Every structure is written in structure tokens, then in C-alpha cells.
Amino acid sequence: MKTVDDPVTHYDRITGAWRYLLGEDFHFGYFRTADESLDAATDNLTTLMAESGAIGPDVSVLDVGCGIGNPACVLAERYGCRVTGISTSRSGVEGARRRAQERGCSDRVSFSIADGMDNGLPDASFDRVWVLEASHLMPRKDVLLAECARVLRPGGLVVLCDVILGRDLPLAEVLSRAQDFIHLHYAFGRAKMETLDTYRRLGERAGLQATKLMDISDQMFPTFAHWRSRLESHREEVRGLIGDDGLEHFLASCEILPALWKQRVLGYGLIVAVKE
């Protein structure tokens, strides 16, 4: 039986609510200026990743953890690449397919149900692997990165963005923050964060050499205020989709995350690595 810990159950449960809370991109925003909208900032992050990963025409991209497909469609429309999106969420994949059809890019974008830690795709079949806020839900980062390396052609790039640990946490500190992590767990799924340096080391073991490591925590920080504002604007719609408990967990998370950010317990990073 699936539980709330299962990423499939989690994403199928919250997809409708997140469209109110997070917008169509389902990820953090990269704020170049304080007065940008959340939608502009989430698009900025897509652009930053695409430019960091040198995505362009005729490049084949595997989008691991594709959500409801907006970044994949943007990549195909804006950069002329071909994108294969995978997710373990059936509702997410179905929504992504509808989106590609509606936007007229289904000739360059496809979506299927698969696990980023065991995707079943052929060796050396992609030029880029794109992992946008999916790795934190995968308990075995080493297996994820090994799969990324396996499906990349030589010289191909992995470009990954996600919430990271700002520092290694001693057990006593983890236990002291247990209630905070419970709220985050129910709001965002069972996550396992790592430091940027851990991603680098695990990538090297998989044959991926890091070419760029960026801590972009400060640029992501305004996201939380926008999430809170959207919750206040759509409280009843969200309540109808995830109930009182889900709403309260998300509301608590909008207070907890900024505090963890300021204390450098959590942050946000980008890594680009090449398959040698």
C-alpha cells in the first residue's frame, strides 16, 4: 500500500493545490530583482539552467522529474531542443502530455512514467540530463547520478538544481528540529537533502566532472513570501484540494523554510557536470 512517504502518492495528492501555490512551473523562483513576480522568477531559473547547460537546437534532453511539463515545453519552444520527460506521477505525466498538446510542441516533447533512479532508457541516448528539484525526493543520489551518467553521451552534461543542505547536521540538531521537518515532510514529501559538495563527489564517482557549482540561496529566498501570499489568496481552493491538515503544513512550512535559510541549514544550489 502506498503511503504519504511515496513520491507518487505525494505528487498525485498535491498537484492541484500546487498550481495555486507554486504556479505552473512547480519550482522555486530565481529573483534577479526584488520586485519580480513569482512566474517571472521561476522562468528565470529555467533560463539559468538552460544557459548553464548550453541547451540549444537539436540537443536531446532527458528531464528527470518533469512535474506537469512546463519547463520541458519551454525548453522545446525557446531553444528548439527535443525533450523526454519522466516522472513517477501518473497524474503529472498525464497533465504534461495535455500541456504539450495544447501548446503544439508534442512533436518535440514526450512524457512517460519512469523512475529517475532506474529509468530503463538506452545507454548514451541523450546530450543533456535536466534534474530540476527532483533529486531531493530520491534517497539514493549516487544511483540517480549513475543513471544520469549512463544515459548521457560522452561529453554530455547533467544540469541539476535543488534544495541543498547548507552544512552537515549533527544528529542532535536533527532531533531538535524534528517538528519542523515533519511539517516539511507532509507539505513537500519525504526529502533527503545533501550539500553541494556531496553532489560533486557522488557525481565524480559516476564519471561526471563538475564544471559549475553555484550557491544561489539568496536569489531563491523571496520565493517563500510569494508562496505565503498565494496561499492567502487561494486558501479555500487549497483547503478543498488538500484539506485542513495539508493547508496547515504548507502554512507552517512558509515560516520554517525562511528560518532554515537564514540559519544556512538549508539553501539552494546548481551543479553542472560533464560526462568524460
DSSP-H helix ranges across 69-177: 70-79, 90-103, 141-151, 171-176
Q: Which of 132, 31, 19 is nearest to 74 (CA)?
A: 132
Q: Which of 159, 150, 271, 152 is nearest to 215 (CA)?
A: 271
The residues near 77 (Cβ < 8 Å, ≥ 6 apart) are 103, 105
- Chain centre distance of CA 94: 18
Instruction: Using alpha carbons only, give the angle 116, 5, 224 rounded to the nearest 5 degrees.
Output: 85
The answer to whether 264 and 167 are in contact (CB under 8 A) is yes
* Catalytic-role residue among 24, 51, 102, 133: 133
133 labelled catalytic: yes
The catalytic site residues sit at 133
